[in-house]
Amino acid sequence: MLAIGTRAPEFTLPDATGQPVSLSGLLSRGPLILYFYPADFTPGCTREACQFRDLQRFIDAAGFTVAGVSPQSPESHHAFKDKYHLPFILLSDVDRCVIRMYEVQGPLGFGVRRVTFLIDPNHTIQDVVVADLRIGLHAAFVRRAATRV
């Protein structure tokens, strides 16, 4: 996976409505919490997304934007956002191009690892957490990042 201090690769992916969203566009709002997750509606991914949702006031106060990336379709993301009232962007990487660019594919190239990056407006990765099964580490990462700003 990409290391702290590395330049985050530019990308454009469709959001839950099918509209293209670029990394540069997300970063134009300020620092970005970019998280990768395996699949919509799975127990672990649902818990993780709901933790990000529940931290939204900290995220907003810090001036961060949140975007999640997984290989499901925009339609799946739309249903996932609606069901769990997720206030952030979900991006569809069906061909797993961005997943490979950020080096977060699972063992032997299968699946997607649960990884969260903090990226500054200059496209530099400031921090990263990998916690495939310890989902609470991602929420702690967000809280820690929000208090540093």
Residues annotated catalytic, as ranges: 45
Q: Is 51 helix (H, G, I), strand (E, B) or coil?
A: helix
Q: Which residue has the tokens 């310890």?
A: 134
Q: Is 131 helix (H, G, I), strand (E, B) or coil?
A: coil
CB-based contacts of 22, cutoff 8 Å, min separation 6: 10, 11, 12
